[in-house]
């Protein structure tokens, strides 16, 4: 185990160009030399330098990506939740990458696991078994880029005590014993900012189009004084689009945070249910219109566009009633899942503040026995299910 804030897995050598990247002629020569050098060294060393051309290509891609923030519209999936070290470069992982690209998506959320021992721990780190290496992530990003798919790099905190990351919270700074001051929040955010900077550097080096600064850290989101420093540390090393995946927005909740306005666009986990059993796609769209009004107001208050960094429903009977549920058993119903995706698209398409969605999720890394039903898999995945067809047709249409 290595701490994400400092003793992370060995990252790529820092890239320091000898010339400004805007100088096209000299850059082209430099890129050619380095590419050949990397290929030669890679032949002898196995793989270490195979990512250098990808890094340089990423720098080139960024020149055309920045400044496009207002035009982005995401049609994609989340990939690799809880993927262990080595999965992305395995035959199975490469097969899934190809299948995602064949689907026609324009974006993928590439997930890397960062762990902390308990929900109350203040240090997070990369784990040799549970966390993909930086080189593996760079290779995967380049694999998507070669197929024309944009990437949102998404480090996600997982607590090894099996508590949801949204439960991470601490008491406020205090000194009950004179001279003994405790400030757990500053400790946690100090380490977290270092962790995010590490992955933001990787995102920059690989030309990753979007960086997600966290996911569903509901207990941490109210810490208004700490988040701006995290975003500043990210932007100090990364010039692409920065987002954050907030938890679900429910009526009556104090959802909006001041620091959300420091993002380029706000991601939200969208698992809003329907009022009826089996309402069909049009009925789901009708039931979701109040949610569209609520989130439209959120976007106006925050001042940035909004997209669904997660949006999903299982292929289980009546899955659209409580689409966030992962723990309930039931018979397979692929139509319920495809209706939910179709209903979400109908309800939100045309909203001027909406910037699309990333479906949760493409593949399953954890074996959940209650998903295994005679009619088919009842999990969130869409591969080989009717919802895959809905996603494919949506991707083929213009944003």
Mean pLDDT of 293-301: 97
Residue 175 vs residues 172, 219, 224: alpha-carbon distances, Å: 10, 22, 21
Domain residues for the domain of 118 are 67-396
**Confidence class for position 62, pLDDT limits 50, 70, 90:** very low
Residues 113 and 196 in one domain: yes
Percent of the chain with pLDDT over 70: 82
Q: Is residue 95 one of the residues assigned to a domain? A: yes
Q: Which of 7, 41, 65 is the last residue of a domain?
A: 65
Query: In this predicted model, what pLDDT tens digit does every residue of 191-202 receive, in sequence order?
Result: 999 999 999 999
Q: Is residue 1 one of the residues assigned to a domain? A: no
Residues 32 and 88 in one domain: no
Query: In this predicted model, what pLDDT tens digit does every residue of 376-389 receive, in sequence order?
Result: 888 899 999 999 99
Tell me, what's the pLDDT at 159? 96
pTM above 0.85, yes or no: no
Show the tokens assigned to 103: 């689907």
Helices marked H in 18-156: 24-45, 52-65, 91-103, 134-146
Q: Which residue has the higher pLDDT, 25 or 398?
A: 398
Residues 197 and 125 in one domain: yes
Q: Which of 30, 65, 100 is the last residue of a domain?
A: 65
Show the tokens assigned to 68: 């496009």
Residues 49 and 80 in one domain: no
- Report the candidate in 185, 194, 265, 242 with the shortest Cα–Cα distance to residue 217: 185
Q: Is residue 12 one of the residues assigned to a domain? A: no
Tell me, what's the pLDDT at 68? 56
Percent of the chain with pLDDT over 90: 69
Residues 252 and 352 in one domain: yes
Q: Which of 32-36, 90-94, 142-146, 159-163 has the lowest mean pLDDT?
A: 32-36
- Contact assessment for residue 133 and residue 85, using Cβ atoms and an 8 Å cutoff: yes
Q: Which of 65, 80, 103 is the last residue of a domain?
A: 65
Q: Is residue 160 one of the residues assigned to a domain? A: yes
Q: What is the rounded radius of gyration, in angstroms, for the C-alpha atoms of the chain?
A: 21
Q: Is residue 182 one of the residues assigned to a domain? A: yes
Tell me, what's the pLDDT at 372? 84
Task: Answer yes or no: is pLDDT of 320 > 60.
Answer: yes
Distance CA 267, CA 5 (A): 24
Task: Answer yes or no: is pLDDT of 396 > 60.
Answer: yes
Distance CA 139, CA 172 (A): 41
**Confidence class for position 327, pLDDT limits 50, 70, 90:** confident
Mean pLDDT of 164-190: 87
Residues 185 and 235 in one domain: yes
Task: Answer yes or no: is pLDDT of 67 > 70.
Answer: no
**Confidence class for position 118, pLDDT limits 50, 70, 90:** very high
Residues 52 and 139 in one domain: no
Distance CA 100, CA 362 (A): 8
Residues 254 and 351 in one domain: yes
Residues 89 and 156 in one domain: yes
Q: Which of 69-73, 174-178, 326-330 is predicted most confidently?
A: 326-330
Q: Which residues contact 198 (CB under 8 A, 6 or more apart)?
A: 4, 5, 8, 11
Backbone dihedral region for residue 188 (phi beyond 0: left; psi -120 to 50: alpha; all else: beta): alpha
Tell me, what's the pLDDT at 6? 33
Mean pLDDT of 275-284: 90
Tell me, what's the pLDDT at 21? 32
Number of domains in the chain: 2
Q: Is residue 41 one of the residues assigned to a domain? A: yes
Q: What is the CATH number of the domain that holds 72?
A: 3.20.20.80
**Confidence class for position 49, pLDDT limits 50, 70, 90:** very low
Tell me, what's the pLDDT at 398? 57
Residues 59 and 72 in one domain: no
Residues 46 and 75 in one domain: no
Other residues' Cβ atoms within 10 Å of the Cβ of residue 117: 14
Q: Which residues contact 216 (CB under 8 A, 6 or more apart)?
A: 164, 165, 166, 245, 246, 247, 269
Q: Which residue has the higher pLDDT, 3 or 232?
A: 232
3-state secondary structure of 13: coil
Mean confidence (pLDDT) of the chain: 84
Residues 92 and 184 in one domain: yes
Q: Which of 44-48, 105-109, 307-311, 326-330 has the lowest mean pLDDT?
A: 44-48
Task: Answer yes or no: is pLDDT of 31 > 60.
Answer: no
Q: Is residue 256 one of the residues assigned to a domain? A: yes
3-state secondary structure of 186: helix
**Confidence class for position 178, pLDDT limits 50, 70, 90:** confident
3-state secondary structure of 1: coil
Q: Is residue 257 one of the residues assigned to a domain? A: yes
Task: Answer yes or no: is pLDDT of 92 > 60.
Answer: yes
Q: Which residue has the higher pLDDT, 13 or 122?
A: 122
Mean pLDDT of 66-86: 85
Task: Answer yes or no: is pLDDT of 350 > 60.
Answer: yes
Tell me, what's the pLDDT at 373? 85
């Amino acid at each position: 185990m290595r701490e994400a804030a400092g003793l992370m897995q060995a990252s790529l050598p820092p890239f320091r160009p000898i010339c400004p990247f805007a100088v096209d002629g000299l850059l082209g020569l430099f890129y050619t030399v380095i590419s050949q050098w990397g290929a030669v060294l890679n032949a002898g060393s196995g793989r270490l330098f195979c990512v250098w051309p990808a890094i340089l290509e990423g720098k080139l891609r960024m020149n055309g990506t920045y400044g496009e923030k207002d035009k982005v519209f995401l049609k994609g999936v989340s990939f690799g939740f809880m993927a262990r070290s080595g999965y992305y470069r395995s035959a199975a992982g490469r097969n899934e990458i190809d299948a995602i690209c064949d689907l026609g998506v324009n974006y993928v959320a590439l997930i890397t696991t960062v762990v902390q021992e308990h929900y109350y721990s203040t240090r997070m780190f990369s784990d040799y078994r549970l966390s993909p290496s930086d080189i593996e992530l760079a290779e995967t990003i380049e694999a998507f880029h070669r197929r024309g798919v944009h990437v949102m790099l998404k480090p996600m905190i997982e607590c090894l005590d099996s508590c949801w990351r949204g439960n991470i919270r601490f008491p406020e700074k205090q000194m009950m014993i004179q001279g003994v001051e405790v400030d757990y929040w500053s400790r946690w955010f100090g380490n977290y900012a270092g962790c995010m900077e590490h992955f933001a550097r990787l995102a920059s080096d690989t030309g990753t189009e979007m960086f997600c600064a966290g996911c569903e850290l509901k207990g941490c989101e109210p810490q208004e004084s700490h988040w701006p420093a995290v975003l500043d540390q990210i932007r100090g090393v990364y010039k692409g689009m920065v987002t954050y995946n907030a938890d679900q927005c429910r009526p009556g909740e104090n959802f909006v945070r001041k620091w959300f306005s420091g993002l380029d666009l706000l991601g939200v986990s969208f698992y809003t249910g329907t009022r009826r059993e089996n309402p069909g796609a049009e009925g789901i769209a009708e039931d979701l219109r109040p949610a569209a009004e609520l989130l439209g107001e959120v976007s106006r208050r925050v001042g940035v566009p909004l997209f669904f960094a997660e949006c999903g429903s299982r292929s289980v009977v009546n899955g659209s009633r409580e689409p966030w549920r992962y723990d309930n058993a039931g018979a397979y119903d692929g139509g319920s899942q495809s209706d939910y995706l179709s209903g979400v698209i109908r309800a939100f398409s045309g909203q001027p503040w909406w910037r699309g969605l990333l479906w949760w999720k493409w593949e399953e890394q954890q074996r959940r026995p209650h998903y295994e039903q005679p009619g088919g898999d009842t999990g969130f995945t869409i591969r080989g299910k009717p919802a895959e067809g809905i996603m494919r047709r949506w991707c083929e249409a213009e944003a």
